[in-house]
């Protein structure tokens, strides 16, 4: 017999993608006009992937890679919003909702601050979570490692969910 779901749970999501030449950069459900893009099987939206995994982790479901394998043709160039929609469907199947999420984008460039409100609006629309419950901030790699050298971009997300 499975133990009942506690009234609150926490999930952690993380994703990294290499960067390639040519844009646009898809992140947080929006396109950023720049001369780079994330390399991946789907649209490689590093932030939506991390949000998806955080939600799935909060309800102890399989991770994004097992639900949407990168060797499956139906996931080639797929919109990452589809993955997040499925995570939300599963969250609600468990009778849970998002209390809040806190997101960190790790990128040397482009600068993310001017795009954060648009990302919050896009994530809000997909998850039906008010924007005042979605925190997004951006950090650089301070010139070190793959992120700091502009070779990769990453995102980390913590989500708090509650039983409805």
Report the CATH number that the domain containing residue 108 is assigned in CATH: 3.30.1330.50
Q: Which two tokens stand for residue 148?
A: 């700091």
**Does residue 52 lie in a domain region?**
yes
Give me the torsion for CA of 122, 126, 130, 134, rounded to 10°.
-60
The helix/strand/coil state of 160 is: strand
**Does residue 1 lie in a domain region?**
no
Q: What is the pLDDT of residues 85-100, one digit of tens each?
A: 999 999 999 999 999 9
Residue 3 confidence (pLDDT) above 90 = no
Q: Which of 78, 83, 44 is CA-nearest to residue 66?
A: 83
Residue 5 confidence (pLDDT) above 80 = no
The count of structural domains within the chain is: 1
**Does residue 57 lie in a domain region?**
yes
Q: What is the pLDDT of residues 40-63, one digit of tens each?
A: 989 999 999 999 999 999 999 999
Q: Are 152 and 141 in contact (CB under 8 A)?
A: no
**Parent domain of 88:** 8-163
**Does residue 3 lie in a domain region?**
no
Q: Which two tokens stand for residue 46?
A: 């590093």
Residue 60 CB-density burial (10 A; 0-12 exposed, 13-18 middle, 19+ buried): exposed
Q: What local confidence, expressed as pLDDT, does residue 69 receive?
A: 82
**Does residue 2 lie in a domain region?**
no
On whether the pTM is more than 0.75, the answer is yes
């Amino acid at each position: 017999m499975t133990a009942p779901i506690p009234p609150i749970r926490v999930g952690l999501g993380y994703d990294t993608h290499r960067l390639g030449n040519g844009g646009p950069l898809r992140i947080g459900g929006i396109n950023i006009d720049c001369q780079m893009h994330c390399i991946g099987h789907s649209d490689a939206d590093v932030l939506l992937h991390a949000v998806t995994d955080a939600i799935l982790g909060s309800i102890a479901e399989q991770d994004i890679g097992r639900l949407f394998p990168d060797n499956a043709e139906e996931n080639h160039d797929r919109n990452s919003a589809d993955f997040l929609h499925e995570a939300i469907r599963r969250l609600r199947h468990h009778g849970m909702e998002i209390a809040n999420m806190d997101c960190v984008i790790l990128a040397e460039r482009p600068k993310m601050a001017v795009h954060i409100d648009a990302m919050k609006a896009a994530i809000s629309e997909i998850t039906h979570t008010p924007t005042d419950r979605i925190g997004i901030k951006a950090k650089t790699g301070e010139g070190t490692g793959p992120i700091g050298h502009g070779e990769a971009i990453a995102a980390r997300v913590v989500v708090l969910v509650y039983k409805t």
